[in-house]
Amino acid sequence: MNTTISVIKADIGSIGGHIRPSKRLLDSVEEYVRQHQKGLLIDHRVSYTGDDIAILCTHNLGAENEKVHGLAWDAFKAGTEVARDQGLYGAGQDLLKDAFSGNVKGLGPAVAEIEFEERPNEPFLLFAADKTDPGAYNLPLYLAFADPMYCAGLILSPGMFKGFRFDIMDVSYTEADKVISLNAPEELYDIAALLRDPERFVVEAIYSRDTGEQAVSVSTTRLHNIAGKYTGKDDPVMLVRVQGSFPATGEVLGPFHIGAYVAGFMRGSHNGPLMPVPLNSPVSFFDGPPVVSCAAYCVHEGRLTSAADAFDHPFWDYIRSRVSEKAVEIRRQGFFGNAMLPYSELEYGGIVKKLEDLEERFQFR
């Protein structure tokens, strides 16, 4: 029987601004899932990254299952009541629609899911990012799955010699899912041409061309596409199956040392370096910097091990210092130029009104 791993995450309120959820809120979500999972889930874990709560669960019901999504939706609804009761900031922020309609996609929460036949040993990684958007994973995925400079397995491990298929979504198209499949290594330049624009083109999934197995699933939700206005950054989650004919854990983690500049940070309107952080980390400086955590698991017959905290290691302390320097450097130039996102990506509409008002005062010469 196939195992499905689903991760569904939402920001439903946090302490002291958009910093982190309260312990009571986390406990309430976990408690709800525990009480209602019988006959549905095999296992589950609840964690947070910045102000977002992720429900990781395993089951045999396949991706986009109405009952599994409904359980997560209801858990976030129940949590929202607790957030309101505690007066948490942004209570229920990511629950953008009133009613659940079979699938949380398009309702606000972010979802990543993979269904597969378990290998005898099945290691996988759960990434959760805050104060950024799904394109933040484009560069690490490109380097880990298509570049032998970062992924030694591409030249050393025969199971990877055929390369990987990238499914890339045009997230600016809102009428339907608009997706292209491109093969690495033959179409590397085409992949790069799309992934260089992470606000528009986002890796949705990656498949082994050797086995056809799915390695990666990324949540591709763009909140402002759903709400039509700023409601917070999309704060993406990602599942990555690793080892064997997939890249090794270390090959997937490696590119995160770059701390690449990504969209997000304060008011979802700036560029900031993506900082790899330990599990259950809050944000801080300028509501950031953009952060990403990684929980490494094994799953067997749907049962999850405890999480290994992949970025909790002295090596990453050094990287965090360097990323902090990058964050300070770009913050020194405030609103100017590349420090702030282009007009189309600014998540706050206020500037539109300001520019409209100023427009009237321009004079023609």
State the residues that interact with ligand F6R by CB under 6 A: 17-18, 131, 232-233, 266-268, 287
* Binder of residue 52, out of ligand F6R, Mg ion, none (CB less than 5 to 8 A by kind): Mg ion
Active site residues: 11, 230, 233
Nearby residues of 60 by Cβ (< 8 Å), 6 or more positions away: 1, 2, 3, 4, 42, 302
Which CB atom, from 187 or from 287, has the smaller least distance to ligand F6R?
287
Q: Does 51 bind Mg ion (CB under 5 A)?
A: yes
Kindly state the DSSP code that residue 9 receives in the 8-state scheme.
E
Task: Tokens for 208, please give them.
Answer: 């082994």
d(CA 240, CA 166): 13
Alpha carbon distance 44, 24 (integer Å) = 18
Query: Measured between alpha carbons, how far is 136 from 114 in angstroms, rounded to an integer?
Result: 20
User: Is residue 234 within the footprint of Mg ion (CB under 5 A)?
Assistant: no
Q: Among Mg ion, ligand F6R, none, what does residue 129 contact (CB within 5–8 Å per kind)?
A: none
Mark the segment that binds Mg ion (CB under 5 A) among 19-27, 43-51, 100-108, 175-183: 43-51
* Residue number of the CB atom closest to ligand F6R: 287
240 by DSSP, 3-state: which? Answer: strand
Task: State how beta strands 291-300 and 275-277 pair.
Answer: parallel
Q: For the window 122-151, what string marks contact with Mg ion as x by the rule CB under 5 A?
A: --------x---------------------
Q: x/- binding map, residues 10-29, to Mg ion, per CB under 5 A?
A: -x------x-----------
| Residue with smaller CB distance to Mg ion, 50 or 289 | 50
* CA angle at 250 for the pair 202 and 179, rounded to the nearest 5°: 15
Q: Which is nearer to ligand F6R, 61 or 346 (CB)?
A: 346
* Residues paired with 168 in a beta bridge: 180, 203
Identity of the residue, 222 or 241, whose beta carbon is nearer to Mg ion in the bound complex: 222
Which is nearer to ligand F6R, 76 or 246 (by Cβ)? Answer: 76
Instruction: Give the one entry of ligand F6R, Mg ion, none that residue 30 binds, where binding means its C-beta sits below a cut-off of 5 to 8 angstroms depending on kind.
Output: none
* Count of residues touching Mg ion (by CB under 5 A): 8
Pairwise CA distance, residues 73 & 121, whole Å: 31
> Omega of the bond prior to 276 within 30 degrees of 0, cis?
no
Which residues contact Mg ion (rule: CB under 5 A)?
Answer: 11, 18, 50-52, 130, 232, 235
